[in-house]
Amino acid sequence: MKNLKRYYTLNATPKDVYNALTNKTMLEIWTGESVEMDPLPNTEFSLWGGSISGLNIEFEENRKIVQKWYFGEDEEDSVVTLILHPHKKGTSVELNHTNIPEEAFENIAEGWDEDYFGALAELFN
């Protein structure tokens, strides 16, 4: 299992970034796919039409999101923590994704850069 830590800067306030990450309608706008999301602890979520699914663990409004991502029956779940920091250019997002299966690591890392934060950057530019 591997861990990934990255930082992304988005041209939006922490409030707007948090909304884009937790609001079902906003998620569907920038992902272009169906989403299931209720920003409450102990609720299940699904992104990109079910490509990513898991359990919401913790929400700190405009500041922090913690989720457990499912990887299948034979794999341990991984934990994603997103921390939003005010930044002179908008918001700095600190990503910590732990317990990623070795065989999925490159795909997950690329997905964060291109599909997730690449799409968010386009939304806010």
- Best CA proximity match to 79, nearest among 88, 70, 92, 87: 70
Q: Residue 112 forms beta bridges with which residues?
A: none
Tens digit of each residue's pLDDT (9 = 90 or more) over 61-81: 999 999 999 977 666 789 999
Average per-residue pLDDT for the chain: 94
Label residue 125 by pLDDT band (50, 70, 90). confident
Q: How confident is residue 44, by pLDDT bands cut at 50, 70 and 90?
A: very high
- The domain in which residue 69 lies consists of 2-124
Portion of the chain with pLDDT greater than 90, in percent: 86
Which CATH number characterizes residue 75's domain? Answer: 3.30.530.20
Percent of the chain scored above 70 by pLDDT?
98
Beta bridge partners of 92: 9, 85
How far apart (Å, rounded) are the C-alpha atoms in residues 11 and 122? 9
Domain count, the chain: 1
Give the other-Cβ count within 10 Å of 43's Cβ. Answer: 13
Phi, psi at residue 59, to the nearest 5°?
A: -135, 130
Q: How far apart are the first and last CA of the chain?
A: 35
